[in-house]
């Protein structure tokens, strides 16, 4: 799967400017196929930035010995590494002091062994309006706030918000909250401020909330069941010995009774019937 992602990343360099956004969205959708050994975070946490802004991208590592490096794909470079072709390394972070529209692209962390973190899609615009939206996927059930702002004026100007090209709503304060998001809220979002312009589009990803299994609880009957099991085990082990001992005692007593009977008959032979009589008839007279 890692080789497939690398091949897709290499292939992206040959796409035209018009399809680069859709390609970055496709790459971002491969989050479920990447490893979780490192996590890429962005500060400020926004998927869109103005030109000449400062941004820091950090590889939060579980294993520092893996040698994680920040890389990116843009319309002008492919698999470029931080420090070589863009940005300044700062420990596990990469800082870009003055962003440029050419910095728009897909960013990720990659280890020496080729493992890949989550991917982040950043858009840098030279225009006057941006849409502040989550950089990372959001969980189902969470609330998401979108902020439409200009570079030079307050961020509370009235704005119109669009999803997949269709108007959602107009907000007088310039921000919109989607409550309890679900998978149907995934899509391409942008905003427009009258008299200032329209923001670029950014994709918002919604992921399922992980299931939590309830911890097993011990009931008051559990100790009793354990005691019953222990008693049954003792009965199974010792019953054969008890039964065999009882049988041996019964056999011994039976044999002792037979020996006593033989001895008694041997001492009183004259008390039996005369052998000359074959039958005895007793008459009763009424």
The pLDDT, as a whole number, for residue 65 is: 59
- Give the tokens for residue 35: 């490893």
Q: What is the pLDDT of residue 244?
A: 60
Local mean pLDDT, 10-residue blocks, the chain (286 residues):
50 46 48 60 95 95 75 95 94 94 96 91 96 94 95 85 97 94 96 95 92 59 49 53 58 58 48 44 44
Residues in the chain: 286
Q: Which of 145, 146, 147, 125 is nearest to 200 (CA)?
A: 125
Residue 190 buriedness (CB in 10 A; 0-12 / 13-18 / 19+): buried
pLDDT of residue 212: 67
* 19-29 core/surface letters (b: 16 or more CB in 10 A; e: else): ebbebbbebbe
135: Cβ–Cβ under 8 A, 6 or more apart, which residues? 41, 42, 45, 46, 47, 120, 122
**For position 91, what pLDDT does the model report?**
86
pLDDT given for residue 156 in this prediction: 83
Residue 145: its pLDDT value, please?
A: 95
The pLDDT value recorded for residue 275 is 47
Q: How far apart are CA 48 and CA 204, in angstroms?
A: 12
Q: What is the pTM of this model?
A: 0.62
Structural domains in the chain?
A: 1-126 (2.60.40.10), 127-209 (2.60.40.10)
pLDDT number for residue 88: 96
């Amino acid at each position: 799967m890692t080789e497939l992602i690398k091949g897709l990343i290499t292939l992206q360099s040959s796409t035209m400017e018009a399809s680069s956004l859709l390609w970055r969205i496709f790459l971002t959708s491969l989050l479920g196929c990447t490893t979780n050994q490192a996590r890429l975070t962005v500060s400020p946490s926004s998927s869109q930035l103005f030109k000449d802004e400062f941004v820091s991208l950090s590889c939060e590592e579980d294993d520092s010995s893996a040698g994680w490096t920040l890389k990116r794909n843009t319309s002008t470079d492919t698999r470029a590494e931080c420090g070589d072709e863009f940005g300044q390394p700062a420990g596990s972070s990469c800082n870009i002091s003055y962003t440029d529209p050419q910095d728009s692209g897909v960013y990720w962390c990659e280890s020496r062994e080729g493992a890949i973190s989550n991917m982040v899609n950043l858009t840098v615009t030279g225009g006057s309006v941006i849409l502040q939206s989550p950089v990372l996927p959001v969980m189902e059930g969470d609330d998401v706030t979108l902020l439409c702002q200009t570079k030079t004026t307050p961020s509370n100007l009235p704005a119109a918000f669009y999803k997949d090209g269709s108007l959602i709503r107009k907000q007088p304060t310039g921000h919109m909250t989607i409550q309890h998001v679900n998978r149907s809220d995934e899509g391409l979002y942008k905003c427009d401020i009258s008299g200032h312009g329209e923001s670029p589009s950014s994709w918002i990803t919604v992921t399922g909330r992980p299931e939590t299994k309830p911890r097993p609880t011990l009931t008051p009957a559990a100790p009793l069941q354990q005691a019953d099991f222990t008693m049954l085990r003792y009965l199974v082990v010792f019953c054969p010995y008890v039964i065999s001992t009882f049988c041996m005692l019964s056999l011994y007593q039976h044999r002792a009774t037979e020996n006593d009977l033989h001895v008694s008959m041997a001492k009183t032979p004259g008390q039996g019937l005369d052998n000359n009589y074959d039958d005895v008839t007793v008459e009763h007279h009424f």
